[in-house]
């Protein structure tokens, strides 16, 4: 059994686990910590090092860390729900130094999308799978024939004069008290446009609202099949672990 550690950093919590890379199943309990107030780099890195140590990182070949930012050559080029001190930081190097080992550092939406393509709703699908996360904003991941194309930002796709996530994210549905039918009209505009641009073979929809997928996905009229994500809160750490092994 090939194993790796995956650690998922969020704005409110940081969680990690040991992952069986053949099945995608967690083979340890999830270790969870609160994200340090302010989300500053030194504080977050210290918590990640603590989690990795608790999971036995020194005995494994691969540790993957996912983070809510555009990740370019190991540098964090944005920051969502964490300190702006992350912007431009050589995070890959800083995590590696703190953990005393090489790691693989990746955007959180990309990690979750890769997990869905390998172990979840898109397992075994050829062609282009586009995984979208409907939450506070809209996250996205592109996986083509099992290969991740990193740092897509479909939530910031400008459509009808503004970023899509400013009028189609789940947070907007909640804020404006939209019915699922009203929200589906907005999602139809978004997904139909993305379908036209990229011609995917499958859409996968994640985020907490995907638990209610039967309320809105059947209302969408697309050529491309569209299905709910299946891995829930474990997708990020599962994908981070799998990508760490792949790039190790």
- Which whole number is the average pLDDT over 212-241? 97
- Which whole number is the average pLDDT over 105-112? 95
For residues 172-204, one letter each, b for 16 or more C-beta atoms within 10 angstroms of the residue's C-beta and e for the rest, the string is bbeeeeeeeeebbebbbebbeebbeeeebebbb
Query: Is 238 in the same domain as 223?
Result: no
Question: Is residue 215 one of the residues assigned to a domain?
Answer: yes
CATH number of the domain that 172 lies in? 3.30.420.40
pLDDT(59) > 90: no
The candidate with the shortest Cα–Cα distance to 131, out of 214, 66, 198, is: 198
Q: Which domain holds residue 213?
A: 121-230
Query: Is 7 in the same domain as 105?
Result: yes
- Which whole number is the average pLDDT over 46-62? 91
- Which whole number is the average pLDDT over 227-238? 95
Half-sphere exposure in the Cβ direction for 107 (13 Å, CA): 25
Long-range contacts of the stretch 37-45 (C-beta < 8 A, 24+): 38/83, 39/11, 39/79, 39/81, 39/82, 39/83, 39/86, 40/82, 40/83, 40/85, 41/83, 41/85, 41/86, 41/89, 41/91, 41/94, 44/9, 44/14, 44/82, 45/94, 45/95, 45/98
- Which whole number is the average pLDDT over 199-208? 96
Query: Is 137 in the same domain as 201?
Result: yes
Query: Is 178 in the same domain as 199?
Result: yes
What average pLDDT does the chain have? 95
- What is the count of structural domains for the chain? 2
**Angle at Cα 195 formed by Cα 193 and Cα 201, nearest 5°?**
170
Residue 61, pLDDT score: 81
Q: How far apart are CA 146 and CA 117, in angstroms?
A: 7
Q: How confident is the model at residue 47 (pLDDT cuts 50, 70, 90)?
A: very high
pLDDT(248) > 90: no
Q: Which residues contact 36 (CB under 8 A, 6 or more apart)?
A: 43, 44, 46, 47
């Amino acid at each position: 059994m090939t194993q790796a550690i995956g650690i998922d950093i969020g704005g409110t919590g940081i969680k990690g686990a040991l992952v069986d890379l053949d099945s995608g199943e967690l083979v340890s309990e999830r270790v969870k910590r609160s994200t340090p107030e302010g989300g500053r780099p030194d504080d977050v890195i210290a918590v990640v090092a603590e989690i990795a140590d608790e999971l036995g990182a020194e005995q494994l070949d691969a540790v993957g860390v996912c983070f809510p930012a555009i990740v370019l050559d190991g540098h964090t080029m944005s920051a969502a729900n964490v300190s702006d001190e992350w912007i431009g930081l050589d995070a890959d190097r800083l995590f590696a130094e703190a953990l005393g080992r090489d790691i693989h550092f990746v955007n959180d939406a990309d990690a979750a999308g890769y997990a869905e393509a390998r172990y979840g709703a898109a397992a075994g699908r050829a062609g282009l799978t586009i995984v979208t996360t409907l939450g506070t904003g809209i996250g996205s991941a592109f996986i083509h024939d099992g290969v991740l194309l990193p740092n897509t930002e479909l939530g910031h796709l400008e459509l009808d004069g503004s970023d899509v996530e400013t009028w189609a994210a789940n947070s907007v549905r909640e804020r404006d008290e939209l019915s699922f039918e009203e929200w589906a009209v907005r999602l139809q505009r978004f997904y139909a446009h993305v379908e036209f641009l990229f011609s995917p073979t499958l859409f996968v929809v994640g985020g907490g609202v995907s638990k209610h997928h039967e309320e809105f996905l059947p209302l969408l009229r697309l050529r491309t099949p569209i299905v709910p994500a299946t891995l829930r809160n474990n997708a990020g750490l599962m994908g981070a672990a799998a990508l760490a092994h792949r790039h190790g």
